[in-house]
């Protein structure tokens, strides 16, 4: 099966996701989260990419990034995934025991307006939504904890637009059904996330139009005879 197309252009904003192979646990203890943050920090020193927000979960992670050069996001994520996998297997003495990740990372472009804030809310409340904490700001391995003054192993870039007032309260409230549905589609299909016109123009500009089409074989109609 051919790989789906992917946008990766300078100054774009992207949500990036990867999961453990078979949804296996990637981070078993605090040191595992810290080790990944160290790899991510090193990668951000090597490749011109800004880390805007993130959250690490037991079997997956979310990043919101903006490359400063065309193609830099893919280079960063390849390096991070390969380096983290090698170090993880070395630590757990599991070299040769199979893949750590389910495959290459998934990503989608984000419109730089309220849609960007929706994605960041989604990322920063992920642990709360999963029932791992009772307040989003209590999860140690994410940008919200860092923004609240907690110690973090990576350096965060300034946001392209300011956080809304009462941001903490907003993050702790569930997304609307419409926001959840649109985000799920964007994640599942690597589809641009924004208003209708922006999504269509972005898909056309970066050859992502296949992400807008419904999956499955074209519907067959019965043949008629004249």
With a cut of 90, say whether residue 223 has pLDDT above it.
Answer: no
CATH of 14-195, one of 1.10.3720.10, 3.30.200.20, 3.40.50.1820, 3.30.70.1290: 3.30.70.1290
Q: Note the pLDDT of residue 99.
A: 83
H helix runs in the chain, sequence order: 30-46, 72-92, 114-124, 126-129, 143-147, 167-172, 177-189, 196-205
Q: Note the pLDDT of residue 219.
A: 45
With a cut of 70, say whether residue 10 has pLDDT above it.
Answer: yes
Buried b (16+ CB within 10 A) or exposed e, 22-38: eeeebbeeeebbebbbe
Place of tokens 């419409």: 178
Q: Note the pLDDT of residue 224.
A: 42
The Cα–Cα gap between 83 and 78 comes to: 8
With a cut of 50, say whether residue 221 has pLDDT above it.
Answer: no
Contact 143, 155 (CB under 8 A): no
Which DSSP state fits 63?
E
CA 198 to chain centre: 20
Model pLDDT for residues 68-122, shown as the tens digit of each residue: 999 999 999 999 999 999 999 999 887 656 689 988 899 999 999 999 999 999 9
With a cut of 80, say whether residue 142 has pLDDT above it.
Answer: yes
This model's pTM is above 0.85: yes
Model pLDDT for residues 24-80, shown as the tens digit of each residue: 899 999 999 999 999 999 999 999 999 999 999 999 999 999 999 999 999 999 999
Tokens of 112: 């730089």
Q: Note the pLDDT of residue 4.
A: 60
Structural domain boundaries in the chain: 14-195
Average pLDDT over all residues of the chain: 91
Q: Note the pLDDT of residue 152.
A: 84
């Amino acid at each position: 099966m051919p790989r789906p197309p992917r946008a990766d252009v300078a100054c774009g904003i992207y949500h990036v996701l990867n999961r453990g192979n078979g949804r296996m646990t990637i981070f078993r203890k605090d040191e595992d989260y810290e080790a990944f943050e160290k790899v991510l920090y090193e990668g951000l020193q090597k490749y011109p990419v800004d880390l805007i927000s993130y959250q690490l979960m037991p079997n997956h992670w979310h990043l919101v990034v903006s490359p400063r050069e065309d193609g830099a996001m893919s280079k960063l994520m390849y390096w991070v995934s390969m380096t983290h996998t090698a170090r993880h297997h070395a630590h757990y003495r599991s070299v040769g025991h199979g893949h750590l990740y389910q495959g290459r990372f998934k990503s989608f472009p984000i419109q730089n307006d309220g849609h960007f804030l929706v994605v960041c809310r989604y990322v920063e409340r992920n642990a709360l939504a999963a029932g791992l904490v009772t307040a989003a700001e209590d999860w140690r391995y994410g940008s919200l904890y860092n923004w609240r003054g907690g110690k973090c192993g990576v350096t965060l870039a300034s946001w392209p637009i300011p956080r809304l007032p009462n941001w903490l309260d907003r993050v702790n409230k569930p997304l609307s059904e419409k926001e959840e549905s649109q985000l799920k589609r964007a994640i599942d299909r690597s589809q641009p996330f924004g208003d209708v016109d922006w999504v269509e123009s972005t898909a056309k500009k970066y050859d992502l139009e296949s992400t807008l089409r419904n999956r499955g074989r074209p519907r067959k109609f019965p043949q008629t005879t004249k």
